[in-house]
Amino acid sequence: MKKHTIVALVQDQPGVLSRVIGLIRRRGYNIESLAVGHSEQPSISRLTIVVESTQVEQVVKQLYRLIEVIKVSDVTDDPTVEREMVLLKLHAPISVRHEIVAMCGVFDAKIVDVGSSTMIIEMSGTPSKVQNFIDTIRSYGIKEMMRTGRIAMVRGSRGHNADQYVESGNGATAPVAN
């Protein structure tokens, strides 16, 4: 099954994440990663969901049924910037620290904490670059790892600005009751 990256704008309200996840769960799809946070508008959150699905069009349409979901796009085949961040706590006795430091330099990773026998490394990049870094550094012994999941943004002037969805009057016109 193909992996799809879906970007959604949702109203920032309690329960909205639960609704989105519940809807995807109901169809039996597995969420590979989910990242959520504020958009450029405080009342609107932006989600990036990576899901394996053969019927992603149905997922997108079903998501639109949720009242608090404002805009959904499958950006899998669009030109996007995709990023992911990882925090890694490595087993790092003094004897190997210089090797790790060198490796971090190659991958543009930052050492953010040094303990007596551990180091915490922060690294971000495309999901494949993050994976590559993890695979490379794994041999030193990963004690803890936390990946944020993918976030994606469509390049250029395309994409969806959240401002247009704020303070909108209700544009829908109901049919006249008969």
Partner 1 sequence: MSQELTGAQIMCEALIREGVEVMFGIPGGAIMPFYFAMWEYRDRLRHVLCRHEQGAGHAAEGYARSTGRIGVCIGTSGPGVTNLVTPVADAMMDSTPLLAICGQVGSHVLGKDAFQETDITGITMPITKHNYLVKNASELAYVFKEAIYIATTGRPGPVLIDITKDAMQKSCVPNWDRKLDLPGYKPTYQPNRKQLREALKLLRQARKPLIIAGNGVIMAGAHAELRHFAERLRLPVITTLHGIGAFPEEHPLSLGMPGMHGWVHCNRAIQECDVLFNIGGRFDDRVTGKASTFAPNAKVIHVDIDPSEIGKNVKVDVPIVADARMALQALLDELPVKEELADLHAHASDWMEYIRELQDKHQGKQQYINRAAVQNMALPPHDVYAALNRHIAERGNIIVVTDVGQHQMWAAQLLDWNAGPRSHITSGGAATMGFSVPAALGVAIAHPDKTVWVVCGDGGFQMTNQEMATIIQEGIKNIKVAVINNGYLGMVRQWQELFENKRYSGTPLSGPNFAKLAEAYYWKGMTVEHTNQVQAAIEEAQATNGPVLIDFRVEREVNVFPMVPQNASIGDMITENSGA
Binding site residues, partner 1, CB under 8 A:
10-11, 14-15, 18-19, 22-23, 26, 44, 57-58, 61-62, 64-71, 165-175, 177-178
Query: Look-up: residue for tokens 């794994």?
Result: 138
Looking at beta carbons only, is 132 or 161 nearer to partner 1? 161
Q: How far is the CB of 18 from partner 1 (least distance, A)?
A: 7
Looking at beta carbons only, is 16 or 92 nearer to partner 1? 16
DSSP 8-state assignment for residue 107: H
Looking at beta carbons only, is 128 or 161 nearer to partner 1? 161
Looking at beta carbons only, is 79 or 171 nearer to partner 1? 171
Q: How far is the CB of 120 from partner 1 (least distance, A)?
A: 34
Length of the chain: 178
Looking at beta carbons only, is 39 or 124 nearer to partner 1? 39
Q: How far is the CB of 6 from partner 1 (least distance, A)?
A: 15
Structural tokens at position 16? 């909205």
Q: How far is the CB of 58 from partner 1 (least distance, A)?
A: 6
Looking at beta carbons only, is 16 or 151 nearer to partner 1? 16
Angle ∠(15,16,21) on CA atoms, nearest 5: 100
Residue 129's φ and ψ, nearest 5 degrees, are -70, -40
Q: How far is the CB of 1 from partner 1 (least distance, A)?
A: 19
Residue 131's φ and ψ, nearest 5 degrees, are -65, -45
Distances, alpha carbon 175 to alpha carbons 66, 95, 178, in Å? 21, 75, 9
Give the closest residue to 141 by CA, choosing from 85, 89, 87.
89
Q: How far is the CB of 48 from partner 1 (least distance, A)?
A: 18
Sign of the C-alpha dihedral computed for residues 4, 7, 12 and 13 taken in this order: negative
Give the closest residue to 29 by CA, choosing from 64, 71, 57.
57
